[in-house]
Structure 1
Amino acid sequence: MSLPEVINHQDHLLSVNINEQEAVQHPTDGYFIQPLFLDSENGTWVLYAKFPPGTLLPRHFHTGTVHFFTTKGSWNYVEYPEDKQTAGSYLYEPGGSIHQFSVPKDAKEAAEGFMVVTGANINFDDDDNFIDVSDAGTIEQAVLTVCQMMGRDAPRYIRPGASAAFSF
């Protein structure tokens, strides 16, 4: 048996280092994200995020799965206060789950982690009214808009397609 024929030749590796670029801060919620891989066509988003103490995200419904690995700090879902996620925790969230992300106000440090998400988050307010949808496409648009408003370059991330490449 011989090696298979190369279908997609790579001239270089597609790699992003979170220590080599500045994260983007959400303009109202205060958390920071570093997009690593945004694929709006297939609905996959990969982010590294930093959530300061007191972060409370909207309750959301997942249309797909989530893999979240916590690297620093701790956080929990409001619905599961006893199930704190701490540095080193890996969490799998099935599609169809509903919850609200929280970092306690009295936390000693920000919660940080790496997430791989498929599909979208359908976000709701405290009265269960629809707010918006977060997916790879809306996240990419938000990152680009915030960076443009701040007069800074957008972070480098991977955009797949027929010829996978970096965002710039």
Structure 2
Amino acid sequence: MSTHTPRSAAYTPDQLKRMPFQYAQPQGMLPDLVVAPVVPEDERIWVPQAENVWFRPLCLNRSAGYWINLLRVRKSGVLSRHRHPGPVHAYVIKGRWRYLEHDWEATEGGYAFEPPGETHTLVVDEGVTEMITLFNVQGCMYYVDPWGENVGYEDVFTKIDMCRQHYEAVGLGGDYVEQFIR
């Protein structure tokens, strides 16, 4: 029979509930990533992707091959036709958009899941002055023509390169992107 008294006996249940973890985190663990505000006040943080199209990195995970960013569009029209080998999650913060291949529209406050293998053409319709959507993209985006022929791609590494070049050019320094990389 053990005579050991557990350490928790010295505390009330409420004290235990409010007590932080008492040990070190695992050695080599990556630091937390907290981005605030998500929609930046400094316009230089938005990385140009095309005319009137920008992205704002939130997490660029090179070890797992995904990225999370805001996409901001201030024009109407077709943005891109692309295929996803991995899943994509989207949350519409402002405005609306749709895919030519589907009959649904992603609207402000809405969420969309895009399954692996999906090929679609992103459109922002007339009357939308600004669209901002949070995207979580696993893997890459293969840009394709209407018949599925590859015309380009984007992955976490091309995103990092775009950020590094842009941040250097606007005076934030190329290493500004490092805070988003995991």
Q: Common fold, TM-score beyond 0.5?
A: yes
Segments of structure 2 that go 5 or more residues without pairing to the other structure are 1-5, 9-20
Alpha-carbon distance in structure 1 between the residues aligned to 2:135 and 2:84: 13
1:6 alignment partner, one of 13, 20, 25: 25
1:97 alignment partner, one of 93, 103, 118: 118
Show CA shifts across 1:18-59 (max 9, x none): 334431222x34211100100123111000111123242221
Segments of structure 1 that go 5 or more residues without pairing to the other structure are 161-168
How far the C-alpha of 1:140 sits from its partner, in A, is 1.0
Q: Percent identity?
A: 23
2:47 alignment partner, one of 13, 19, 24: 24
2:140 maps to: 120
- Point out which structure has higher relative CO (alpha carbons under 8 A, 6+ apart): 1
Larger Rg: 2
How far the C-alpha of 1:9 sits from its partner, in A, is 8.2
Moved over 6 A (4+): none
Q: Alignment length, in residue pairs?
A: 156
Please report the TM-score for the alignment, with normalisation by the length of structure 2.
0.74
Opposite residue 142 of structure 1, the aligned amino acid is M
What's the secondary structure of 2:64's corresponding residue?
A: coil
Flag the 1:127–1:93 CA change in 2: closer, same or farther, 3 A. closer
Alpha-carbon distance in structure 2 between the residues aligned to 1:107 and 1:8: 52
Flag the 1:110–1:8 CA change in 2: closer, same or farther, 3 A. farther
C-alpha root-mean-square deviation of aligned residues, in Å?
2.7
How far the C-alpha of 1:8 sits from its partner, in A, is 4.9
Alpha-carbon distance in structure 1 between the residues aligned to 2:61 and 2:110: 25
For 1:132-151, list aligned pairs within 5 A.
Answer: 132-148=152-168, 150-151=169-170
More helix by share: 2
